[in-house]
Amino acid sequence: MSDPRERPGAVAESRPRNDTAAAPAIVFDDVHLSFDEKVILRGVSFVLEPGHMKVILGASGAGKSTTLRLILGLLKPDRGEVWVNGRRVDQLSESELLEVRADLGMVFQEGALFDSFTVRENAGYRLYEESRMPLDDVDARVEEVLGFVGLADFADRMPSELSGGQRRRVAIARAMASRPKILLYDEPTTGLDPITALTVDDEIIKLRDLEGVSSIVVTHQLRDAFHIATRMARRAGPRVEFIDAPPERLQQTEFIMLRDGQVAFEGPADALRRTGDQYLRAFLS
């Protein structure tokens, strides 16, 4: 792929933004999906309100990552409705989906960084390549997001020169660079050591609490899931500090447990901890 910092002859389509202040960020309504004979989702429903977070838990193959791909329109459900910012994405064409995706950021498992681009080019890909923002403004925004994830000094490195944790943080920077209203995280801490995983968790918390981003985190790392759900970020002068979330904030992050393609549990962290369901207890233990 060509260097995205050098603007292509491309003329990006202008993207009208809907007034979606009142609409839920994401709605899943009775979504079914199968691949050949294998049923992945059978009647999954949930609503993500703006500024809130859902943490989707479940065993491997439970349909967690599939849920994120349905939201992005990378997959279409067999039945049911998927709404993003007031638009029904399961009925949109690929070109219409590009408009919806302008408000979505996705952090893929393993990062999915573009190998041939530097960290700076990866982080600013959407702005360099798909927007009309002046280059100086894009450079400034890229510096800002790389600073946000603590990688400002790594801007000119290639992804292959980064550690696993740094790659995930660049992926977060890339997803947030265009200021999307919704961020989707697919196993953001899987395969990372506990200390590095915590730094990634903190970035997710910061984006939720300081930037007001609605988000869905797919994971099977329970420790990270509860850390994200029960901690809160706030500004303390020039610094950011992390504290235990007060009760009213705890309600803004809900867990969804997927089991056999269905929602087996939906509720906040304390309700999940108190559950008497045998499967859930076994999963949490």
Partner 1 sequence: MDWLKRVVLEVQDYMRLVGQVARSLVTRPMYVRDIIEQLDAVGIGSLTVVVLTGTFTGMVLALQSGMTLDQFGGRDIVGRLVSASMVKELGPVLTALMVTGRVGSGIAAELGSMVVTDQIAALRALGTDPIRKLVLPRVIAGTVMLPILTIIADAVGIAGGWIISTTQLRVASSVYWNNVTQGLFMDDIWMGLIKPIVLGFLLVSIGCYVGLRTTGGTQGVGRSTTNAVVAGSVAVLAADFFLTKLLITLMYP
Question: What is the rounded distance in angstroms from the CA atom of residue 246 to the CA atom of residue 234?
Answer: 12
The yes or no reply on residue 174 touching partner 1 (CB under 8 A) is: yes
Q: Which is nearer to partner 1, 132 or 274 (CB)?
A: 132
* 87 sits in which H/E element: strand 87-88
The yes or no reply on residue 133 touching partner 1 (CB under 8 A) is: no
Binder of partner 1 out of 114, 260, 266, 284 (CB under 8 A) = 114
The yes or no reply on residue 98 touching partner 1 (CB under 8 A) is: yes
The distance between the two most distant Cα atoms of the chain, rounded to a whole number of Å, is 60
Strand-by-strand arrangement of the 53-58 sheet: 104-107, 182-186, 214-218, 53-58, 253-259, 262-268
Shortest CA distance to 187 belongs to which of 162, 208, 204? 204
Q: Where are the alpha helices (DSSP H) in the chain?
A: 64-72, 94-101, 119-123, 125-130, 135-148, 164-176, 194-210, 222-230, 247-250, 269-274, 278-284
Question: What is the rounded distance in angstroms from the CA atom of residue 199 to the CA atom of residue 262?
Answer: 31
The yes or no reply on residue 90 touching partner 1 (CB under 8 A) is: no
Residue 261 CB, nearest distance to partner 1 (Å)? 21
The yes or no reply on residue 13 touching partner 1 (CB under 8 A) is: yes
Question: What is the rounded distance in angstroms from the CA atom of residue 212 to the CA atom of residue 223?
Answer: 23
**Pairing assessment for the beta strands 79-84 and 87-88 based on DSSP bridges:** antiparallel
State residue 239 phi and psi, 5-degree precision. Answer: -100, 165
Binder of partner 1 out of 27, 41, 104, 192 (CB under 8 A) = 104
| Candidate ranges 66-74, 161-169, 205-213, 251-259; the one touching partner 1 (CB under 8 A) | 66-74
The yes or no reply on residue 11 touching partner 1 (CB under 8 A) is: yes
Name which of residues 237 to 266 contact partner 1 (CB under 8 A).
Answer: none
Quote the strand ranges of 90-225, DSSP E.
104-107, 182-186, 214-218
The yes or no reply on residue 30 touching partner 1 (CB under 8 A) is: no
The yes or no reply on residue 61 touching partner 1 (CB under 8 A) is: no
Q: Which is nearer to partner 1, 1 or 243 (CB)?
A: 1
Quote the strand ranges of 166-238, DSSP E.
182-186, 214-218, 231-236
Question: What is the rounded distance in angstroms from the CA atom of residue 252 to the CA atom of residue 237?
Answer: 25
Q: Which is nearer to partner 1, 60 or 278 (CB)?
A: 60
The yes or no reply on residue 130 touching partner 1 (CB under 8 A) is: yes
The yes or no reply on residue 109 touching partner 1 (CB under 8 A) is: yes
The yes or no reply on residue 161 touching partner 1 (CB under 8 A) is: no
State residue 50 phi and psi, 5-degree precision. Answer: -60, 135
Residue 265 CB, nearest distance to partner 1 (Å)? 28
Q: Which is nearer to partner 1, 68 or 233 (CB)?
A: 68
The yes or no reply on residue 8 touching partner 1 (CB under 8 A) is: yes
Binder of partner 1 out of 30, 61, 76, 110 (CB under 8 A) = 110
User: Rounded to a whole number, what is the distance in angstroms from the first to the last CA of the chain?
Assistant: 46
Binder of partner 1 out of 39, 92, 112, 133 (CB under 8 A) = 112
The yes or no reply on residue 6 touching partner 1 (CB under 8 A) is: yes
| Amino acid symbol at 107 | V
- Which residues form the interface with partner 1 (CB under 8 A)? 1-3, 6-13, 69, 72, 74, 94-95, 98, 101-102, 104-106, 108-110, 112-115, 125-126, 129-130, 174
